[in-house]
């Protein structure tokens, strides 16, 4: 897949990120457990089971009930939309993830390790709502250190560096996976301006 030509037809960011993380593999067994759990949570069934409270009435006199689908939808929208979609979209995400891995491999291990250590320290010291800014700063710093990245579209390099920086941080601190996953997906939402 030539991602440089297909920027307008990006597969869903969350699907690409999940594919990236799976294809890149985990060196940390705890991260693999977290990744498997994330994958499982993102693929929960969306049936129409209802959760009802016992004799709890709303102000309008109706009993409280909420569909499982509504609760799941709310949870998933905090992280990302429902996965996976269809075989074609899943294949496109895998191909794009492979291309992003190729771009991410331009980073020298030493440079990536330093950026990941710096980001990890910032994440430990800040609230999750500020993680996006710290991640963005780390990615921007990487841009300036990798000359070969200029052969690719800036958006692809930004995505590749963000994904690999996130993964590297999570190798050291697996419990950051869910928070960083949500932060990264939010960061690349289509309505967000860079």
pLDDT at 55: 43
106 within a domain of the structure (yes/no)? yes
Provide the residue count of the chain: 194
Asked, for residue 73, whether it belongs to a domain, the answer is yes
Query: Domain total for the chain?
Result: 1
> Which residue in the block uniquely carries the two structure tokens 């710096």?
118
Residue 172, Cβ density class (10 Å: 0-12 exposed, 13-18 middle, ≥19 buried): middle
Residue whose structure tokens are 């429902």: 82
- For residue 6, tell me if it sits in a domain: no
Does 32 map to a domain? yes
pTM: predicted TM-score of the whole model, two decimal places: 0.73
In a domain, 184, yes or no: yes
Residue 77 domain-assigned? Answer: yes
Residues 6 or more apart in contact with residue 20 via CB below 8 angstroms: 97, 100, 101, 163, 167
Mean pLDDT computed over every residue of the chain: 77
Domain that holds residue 138: 13-45+66-188
Q: Is 35 contained in some domain?
A: yes
Least reliable range by pLDDT among 15-29, 84-98, 130-144, 162-176? 84-98
In a domain, 78, yes or no: yes
| pLDDT tens per residue across span 87-123 | 888 888 889 999 999 899 888 888 999 999 999 999 9
């Amino acid at each position: 897949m030539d991602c440089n030509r297909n920027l307008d037809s990006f597969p869903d960011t969350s699907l690409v990120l999940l594919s990236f993380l799976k294809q890149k593999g985990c060196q940390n067994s705890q991260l693999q457990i977290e990744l498997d759990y994330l994958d499982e949570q993102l693929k929960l069934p969306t049936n129409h089971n209802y959760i009802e409270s016992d004799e709890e009435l709303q102000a309008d006199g109706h009993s409280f009930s909420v569909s499982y689908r509504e609760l799941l939808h709310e949870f998933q929208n905090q992280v990302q939309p429902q996965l996976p979609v269809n075989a074609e979209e899943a294949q496109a995400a895998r191909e794009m993830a492979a291309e992003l891995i190729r771009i991410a491999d331009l980073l020298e291990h030493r440079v990536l390790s330093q950026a990941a250590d710096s980001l990890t320290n910032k994440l430990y010291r800040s609230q999750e709502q500020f993680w996006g800014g710290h991640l963005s700063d780390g990615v921007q710093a990487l841009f300036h250190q990798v000359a070969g990245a200029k052969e690719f579209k800036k958006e692809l390099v930004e995505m590749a560096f963000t994904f690999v920086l996130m993964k590297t941080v999570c190798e050291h601190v697996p419990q950051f996976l869910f928070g960083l996953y949500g932060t990264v997906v939010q960061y690349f939402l289509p309505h967000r301006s860079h």
